[in-house]
Amino acid sequence: MDKKALEKMTDKYLSPYGMQKKSTSWYKETNDVLQIVNLQKSEFSNKFYLNIGLLPFGIAVYGMPRPKEHKFPIRIRMSALYPGTAALLENVLDLEYGVLSDSDREAKFSEIITRQLLPFLTEVSSKSDIKHAAIEGRFSGGLVNLMAKKQLGL
C-alpha cells in the first residue's frame, strides 16, 4: 500500500461521517466545533500518524476556515487517545515494513475508525462535550492550550 491508497482508505471511512477532505486532512463542522483528522507522514520513514484536532467556535486561528492541524488549540494523537491499541495502529499505519497485507490493514483500520475514532468524534461534538472530556482526562496525552481552556471554562 502506498500513501495515496492510505488516503483513499481513510477517506472511505471518514467521508460517510460527514468529513470533507482537504489534502491529508478531513474536516467536519458541528454546531460549535470544527473537528479535524489529519494523516501525518513521518519525516524519517514511510510511517503515518493519525492526529485529531478540535477547534471550539469563538477561537480564531490562522488559516480559517480550514486551518492546518497544528493550529488547532486542542490536539491529540490517536495512539495517545487509545494507548491500548497504539501498537496495532502503528502496524496499520506503517507502510515501510509489510507486516500486514493490504486487506488485513484495511480490516484493522476500519475497526479502529469505527470502534474508536468515530465514537470519540461524536463524543466531542460540542463545547460542553469537549469540556466534559477534558475534565475526565481524555486529552491527558495531548494538548489543550490556554485559549481553549479559557473558552471552555477549564
Measured between alpha carbons, how far is residue 110 from residues 14, 65, 92, 117 in Å?
10, 28, 10, 10
Tell me the β-bridge partners of 77.
51
Residue 55 Cα to chain centre, angstroms? 12
The DSSP secondary-structure symbol of 15 reads G
Residue 99: per-residue pLDDT: 81
Residue 97: per-residue pLDDT: 83
| pLDDT, one tens digit for every residue, the chain (154 residues) | 899 999 999 999 999 999 999 999 999 999 999 999 999 999 999 999 999 999 999 998 999 899 999 999 999 999 999 999 999 999 999 998 878 899 999 999 999 999 999 999 999 999 999 999 999 999 999 999 999 999 999 9
Question: How many whole angstroms separate alpha carbon 84 and alpha carbon 77?
Answer: 13
CA 102, 40, 51 angle in degrees (round to 5)? 100
Extract the C-alpha cell encoding 133: 472530556
38 CB neighbour count, 10 Å cutoff: 22
Residue 129: per-residue pLDDT: 97
What end-to-end distance do the CA atoms of the chain give, in Å? 42
Residue 143: per-residue pLDDT: 97
Residue 43: per-residue pLDDT: 92
Measured between alpha carbons, how far is residue 14 from residues 7, 43, 128 in Å?
10, 24, 23
- Torsion angle (degrees, nearest 10) of CA 143, 25, 89, 9: 170
Are 55 and 33 in contact by the 8 Å Cβ rule? The answer is yes
Q: Cell 496499520, residue?
A: 92
Question: How many whole angstroms separate alpha carbon 32 and alpha carbon 25?
Answer: 19
